[in-house]
């Protein structure tokens, strides 16, 4: 399939504060970020004719967001598949723009998870009645989100011989990048991290156990935050303030528990090949790799399932040193610091798009030399059970 360049990211903004306190709402974060992203693109509110928003964290969907922002869109998409919703949104926006259904799409996200003291990883399932299949089959056994991911890591270690020391390489790479990002350092300071510095293997494997075998420094932070992305047609992109970053490949898939299924294989095993085929590129050509790092095991599985290495060989792959921005072999992982060391307000997919765009514009605090291709892969839901994986492949202008 020939590569097409019909839609591009032309404006971005990341809300700078990771601890907003009680005086700022998720809606305010979205509105402030949207205004800044449009300014970044050199566009106005009146240019927007498509709105993409999950409606999460403020109990209003796409219709309410449109009213709040004063937009009357041709298209509203409130697809909600957890943390990867924003890869799905970017992919859908690109398709609608290519089909001529809209010209300028606005993606927004905002959350006050930290200020609200939400128990995102360690809380149990919210009750929604005895007939809900999630509650009926899982809640009675005490399953929490983080225990689900711990189960997948334990299986990966058993099945492939992956070690804790190998998993530690993921946290080490993202922390190296975080220490170069002033906003990430500020976030770790405000969230009272112990030892705000680059990490060693010993730091990670000696950190306290949270849900066996996941240790503290393998788990994402819980912060506030948000951001916005503006995606436009090629006609609009010719005249925007910044160079466009083109969406050249997309893939989406879902997965859930099945008899005989392998919980170490994510839905990325399906969506990754689709995105690469769509883009006409291979994993070896990717310069920047923005992976949803809710936990170290999420990164390990997605790197394997997208074809950066064979299944079960992720442990060796991540310890080769190629995940850091200044290793020319690449691809560099989460150069903003990721969810492990920069921010994670609950649904981190939009930040993958933001940092991938910064890399291809040459604006990252851990800039890869001559970055041409970037990939954002989100994982929403729970890796060991029902989840979705969205892949968006981006190219510099």
Dump pLDDT digits (tens) for 296-333. Answer: 999 999 999 999 999 999 999 999 999 999 999 999 99
- pLDDT over 90, % of the chain: 86
Give CA–CA dist 352/375, Å, rounded: 8
* Torsion sign over Cα 63, 67, 72, 77: negative
Predicted pLDDT at 17: 93
Model pLDDT for residues 140-170, shown as the tens digit of each residue: 777 788 999 999 999 999 999 999 999 999 9
pLDDT band with cut points at 50, 70 and 90 for residue 33:
very high
Between 3 and 34, residue with greater pLDDT: 34
Q: Which residues contact residue 78 at a Cβ distance below 8 angstroms, ignoring those fewer than 6 apart? A: 52, 53, 54, 55, 61, 62
Please write the tens of the pLDDT for every residue from 226-273.
999 999 999 999 999 999 999 999 999 999 988 889 999 999 999 999
Q: What is the pLDDT of residue 230?
A: 98
Q: Which of 225, 245, 132 is nearest to 183 (CA)?
A: 225
Indicate the pLDDT class of residue 4, thresholds 50, 70 and 90.
Answer: confident
Confidence of residue 222 (pLDDT cuts 50, 70, 90): very high
Q: Which of 47-61, 87-101, 259-273 has the lowest mean pLDDT?
A: 47-61
Q: Note the pLDDT of residue 115.
A: 94
How high is the pLDDT of residue 57? 66
2 pLDDT above the threshold of 80: no
Answer whether residue 123 shows pLDDT above 80. Answer: no
In this predicted structure, what is the pLDDT of residue 279? Answer: 98
In this predicted structure, the answer to whether residue 9 has a pLDDT above a threshold of 90 is: yes
pLDDT of 396 above 90: yes
pTM (2 decimals)? 0.97
pLDDT of residue 190: 95
Q: Return all residues near 136 (Cβ < 8 A) that are at least 6 apart.
A: 130
Confidence of residue 85 (pLDDT cuts 50, 70, 90): very high
Q: Residues 352, 376: contact at Cβ < 8 Å?
A: yes
**Class of the CATH domain delimited by 7-116+222-396:** alpha beta
DSSP three-state, residue 232: strand
What average pLDDT does the structure give for the chain? 94
Q: Is the pLDDT of residue 129 over 70?
A: no
pLDDT of residue 93: 98
Asked if the model's pLDDT at residue 397 lies above 90, the reply is yes
- Residue 130 pLDDT exceeds 90: no
pLDDT band at 128 (very low <50, low <70, confident <90, very high): low
SS3 107: strand
How many separate helices (H) and strands (E) can be counted in the chain? Answer: 14, 12
* Mean pLDDT value across residues 288-301: 98
More confident residue, 129 or 25: 25
pLDDT band at 137 (very low <50, low <70, confident <90, very high): low
Percent of residues, the chain, with pLDDT higher than 70: 95
Rounded mean pLDDT, 86-96: 98
Q: Strand pairing of 50-52 and 104-111?
A: parallel
């Amino acid at each position: 399939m020939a590569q097409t360049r019909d839609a591009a990211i032309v404006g971005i903004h990341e809300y700078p504060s990771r601890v907003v306190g009680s005086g700022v709402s998720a809606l305010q974060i979205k509105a402030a970020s949207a205004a800044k992203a449009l300014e970044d693109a050199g566009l106005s509110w009146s240019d927007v004719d498509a709105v993409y928003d999950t409606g999460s964290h403020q109990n209003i969907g796409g219709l309410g967001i449109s009213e709040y922002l004063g937009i009357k869109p041709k298209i509203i998409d409130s697809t909600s598949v957890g943390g990867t919703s924003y890869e799905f949104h970017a992919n859908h926006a690109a398709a609608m723009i290519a089909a001529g259904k809209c010209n300028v799409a606005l993606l927004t996200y905002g959350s006050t998870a930290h200020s609200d003291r939400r128990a995102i990883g360690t809380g149990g399932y919210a009750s929604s009645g005895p007939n809900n299949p999630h509650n009926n089959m899982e809640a009675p056994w005490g399953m929490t989100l983080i225990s689900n991911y711990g189960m997948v890591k334990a299986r990966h270690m058993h099945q492939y011989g992956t070690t804790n020391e190998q998993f530690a390489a993921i946290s080490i790479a993202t922390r190296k990048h975080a220490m170069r990002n002033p906003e990430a350092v500020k976030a770790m300071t405000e969230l009272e991290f112990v030892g705000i510095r680059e990490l060693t293997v010993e730091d990670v494997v000696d950190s306290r156990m949270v849900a066996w075998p996941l240790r503290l420094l393998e788990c994402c932070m819980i912060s506030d935050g948000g951001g916005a992305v503006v995606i436009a047609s090629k006609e609009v992109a010719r005249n925007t303030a910044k160079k466009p970053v083109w969406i050249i490949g997309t893939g989406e898939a879902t997965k859930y528990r099945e008899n005989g299924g392998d919980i170490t294989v994510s839905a990325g095993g399906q969506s990754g090949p689709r995105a690469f085929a769509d883009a006409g590129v291979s994993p070896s050509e990717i310069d920047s790799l923005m992976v949803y790092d809710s936990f170290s095991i999420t990164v390990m599985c997605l790197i394997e399932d997208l074809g950066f290495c064979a299944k079960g060989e992720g442990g060796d792959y991540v310890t080769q040193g190629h995940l850091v921005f200044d290793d020319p072999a690449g691809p560099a992982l989460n150069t903003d610091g990721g969810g492990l060391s920069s921010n994670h307000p609950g649904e981190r997919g939009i930040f993958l798009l933001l940092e991938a765009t910064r890399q291809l514009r040459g604006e990252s605090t851990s800039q890869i030399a001559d970055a041409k291709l970037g990939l954002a892969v989100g994982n929403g839901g729970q890796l060991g059970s029902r989840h979705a994986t969205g892949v968006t492949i981006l190219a510099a202008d």
